[in-house]
Chain A
C-alpha cells in the first residue's frame, strides 16, 4: 500500500470517527435521557399529593416543591443549597425593593416584556391580583399580607380593591404601602403566595383543576388530583431570562411527572430499582438502614428547618386547661418519636427550630415524666376525657399518631384515633367546621428565614381562620400577639432575636403545643440522575430546577 493511500485511509477513518463522535454528542440519549444540563423526562413520587396546585393557596411542602419553579414572585430565593438559599434576590422585579425611611413603603419595578407560559404578557397589576386572591380565596398565607394598607377592608368586603397597592402596567412600577414597618416583608415578597398570576385565574376559587399559566422554567400541563401532575418546560421562559432574571434558574430536565404513591416502601424499591427517579419523602425507618448501607452513592441526609409537634385545641375541653396541656408536654417522649423517624430527629420541646434566628435551647418540661403528667391531670380532673386524635396516612405520621393515641390512653383519656389522607389532612384540620378537632399531629417547615414564620401563621389569634387555617391549637393570647406584632416592626437585630427566643418560651409556658423535634430530610435518587447537581433547598425542599439526568 502506498503511503498516499495509507494517509487517505487514515484521514477517512479519522473523519468518520470524528463525525460519529459529534453525532453521539448532538443526538443525546434516545430514551429521553438528555445530556448533562439538558433534557430528559423524569418521574417523582410523593406519599401525599400537593394540597393545592395553586400558588396563592398551596401551603404544604409537596405543593411548594412543585410551585417554586413554576410561579416566580417579584422577589425570589436564591437557587442554591445551604444558608445561601435563604437569601432573597430579584425575581420578576428588576431589583430589590426600595424601602422608604419609615419602613412603610416598598417600591419595585417589574421587568419588561415578559410572558406567561400561554403567551399572556406579565403585568404589574397581576401582582395586585395575586394578593387579592389570597384574601378572596381564604388562603392560609393571607395572614402575612394583612399589614398592607387596605388589605383588611378588602378582605372584609368593605373595599373593592386593596388601596395600599398601586401599579402601572405601562412602566411596571409597583408601590406597596404598609400600615406598620415590617421586618419580614421582603421575605414575604419571595413566597409563591405573592407570585403574579393573570386575571383569567379565578379570584375566589381554587385553580388546581386548571392551574394558571406559569412564569417559571416549568409549567403545569396536566393535573389529575390527587393522583398525578405533569410539569413541562415553559416555552416562554426565555422572555423571563431575556428580561434579565438571572437569579431564576432554568430547568435541566424537559418533563417531570409527579405521582402520588401511598406506599413508602414501594417508593424506596422504585428508586432502588430505578423506576422512580426521586422520592419526596424520606425512606421509612424500616428501609432507612438498607438504603444508607447499599445506596450511599445516591442517598444523603439533608438539613431542614422544621418543628414537629402535637397541637391541642386550647378553646375546648379538655385542652382549654393549662394543666392538661402541661401534662401532655411532660408525657411526650421525644426520644421515642426519634426512633419512629429512624433516628432522623433532633429531640426538642420548643417552637423555634435550630437554625432559625432566635433559637435558644431550653426545656420547660423535662421528661418524659408520666408520674408528673398523671399528677397534673389529677389536679385538673377534666370532665371531658373523650377526645379525637388526628393524623394522616403517611407511614411515619400514622405511627406518630398511634404513639400519641397510646400515650393519651395511658393518661386516662378515652381517645379515638382518626387517620385521614395526607393530601387533605391539613385542609381538614384547618377547617373550623370539622367536628372533633381536639388534638393531633402537626409540623411546620420554614417559609422564610424569620422567626415570625413560626409564630404568626401558627399561634397568632388572627390566624384562626374559617378555612385553610394553620392555627390548629386555636391559640389566641392578646398580650403575646401584641408582642409578636411589635417584634415584626423591627429589623432582626441580636436583641430582637433574643426577644423572639423569649416569646417562644412564653408560649411554651402556656403549653400551646407539645413539640418533640426537628426532622432531617433526605435526597434519594435513581442511578440515572446526577446526584451531585440535585440539591435540597432550605425553604422549598428539593429544587426541581437542579434535577439533571447524567
Chain B
C-alpha cells in the first residue's frame, strides 16, 4: 500500500518533510498551493501574462481608437484616403478592395469593405467578449450562491444536500489539504 504523503504531492512539489512531528508541520492554503504550482509551469505563466495583456489592450480600446487610429469601431471611411509610406492611398479602392494590414498606426490590421479600422473593431470586439464572459460568470455566481443559500436553509444543518447521511458516510472524502482538525493529509482509499 502506498503512503498518502507520496500520493498527494503534485508533480514538482517540494518533498514533504519526513519525521517532523505533526504539530510542527505548517499547512498551506489552497491558494498558496495553486500559486506554487502555477509558478513552476512556465507555459501557463506565459499564457497568463498574454491573457492579461490582451484584456488590458481590449479595455484600452477607446485609447487606441482616439489617439492612434483616430476612428471609432463603426465609423466608415469608404472614400477616405490615408498616407501610407508617404503616398495617399484609398482606404477602399474604387473596385471595392480594402486597404490591407501594415505597419501604420491607422489601419494597423487593414480596413474592411466599409473602410472601418479592423484593429479598432477587433479591440472593441474583445471588450464585448470580455464583458459577456464576466457577465456570464457573475450571473452564474449570483444564481449559484442563491441556490446554495436556499438549499442550505431548507436542509438539516449537518446533512448534505440531496444525499442521505448514510450514503454520505460511505463516500470517500477528497481534500485539498489538512483541515477540520485533521493533522495529516487524507489517505487515498480510506
Query: Chain A: residues with CB nearer than 8 A to chain B?
Result: 285-286, 288-289, 333, 335-343, 399, 402-403, 405-407, 409
Contacts and interface: CB of A to CB of B under 8 A. Distances in A.
Given A286-B98, A402-B114, A339 B93 contact: yes
Nearest to A403: B76
Given A285-B113, A339-B93, A340-B113, A402 B74 contact: yes
Interface residues of B, number: 14
Contacts of B94: 338-339, 343
A21 to B, nearest CB: 48
Contact of B74 (A285, A286, A406): A406
A340 B78 CA distance: 8
Contacts of A399: 113-114
Nearest to A398: B114
A13 B93 CA distance: 63
B56 interface: no
Contact of A406 (B76, B79, B95, B113): B76
B97 interface: yes
A337 to B, nearest CB: 8
Given A339-B113, A340-B78, 9 more contacts: A285-B96, A285-B97, A286-B96, A333-B79, A337-B78, A339-B96, A342-B96, A405-B74, A406-B76
A45 B114 CA distance: 25
B6 to A, nearest CB: 57
A517 to B, nearest CB: 13
B95 A342 contact: yes
B92 interface: yes
Given A340-B114, A402-B74, A409-B74, A288 B79 contact: no
Task: Tell me whether chain B's interface is mostly helix, strand or loop, or mixed.
Answer: loop
A339 B78 contact: yes
Interface string B49-84: 000000000000000000000000011101100000
Contacts of B96: 285-286, 288-289, 339-343
Contacts of B92: 339
Contacts, number: 54
Nearest to B92: A339
B98 A406 contact: no
Nearest to A344: B96
16 contacts: A285-B95, A286-B96, A286-B97, A288-B96, A335-B79, A336-B78, A338-B94, A339-B78, A339-B92, A340-B96, A341-B96, A342-B95, A402-B74, A405-B74, A406-B75, A409-B74
Contacts of A285: 95-97, 113
Nearest to B80: A336
B104 to A, nearest CB: 20
A403 B113 CA distance: 10
A498 to B, nearest CB: 34
A289 B95 contact: yes
A60 to B, nearest CB: 24
Contacts of A341: 96
Contacts of A335: 79
A343 B96 CA distance: 6
A346 to B, nearest CB: 13
A288 B113 CA distance: 12
Contacts of A286: 96-98, 113
B120 to A, nearest CB: 13
A411 to B, nearest CB: 13
Contact of A288 (B75, B76, B95, B114): B95
Contacts of A288: 95-96
Given A285-B113, A286-B96, A286-B113, A339 B76 contact: no
B113 A343 contact: no
A341 B113 CA distance: 9
Contacts of B76: 336, 402-403, 406-407
Closest CB pairs A-B (n = 5): A285-B96, A342-B96, A336-B78, A343-B95, A406-B76
B111 to A, nearest CB: 11
Contacts of B98: 286
A278 B79 CA distance: 32
A337 B78 CA distance: 8
A340 B93 CA distance: 10
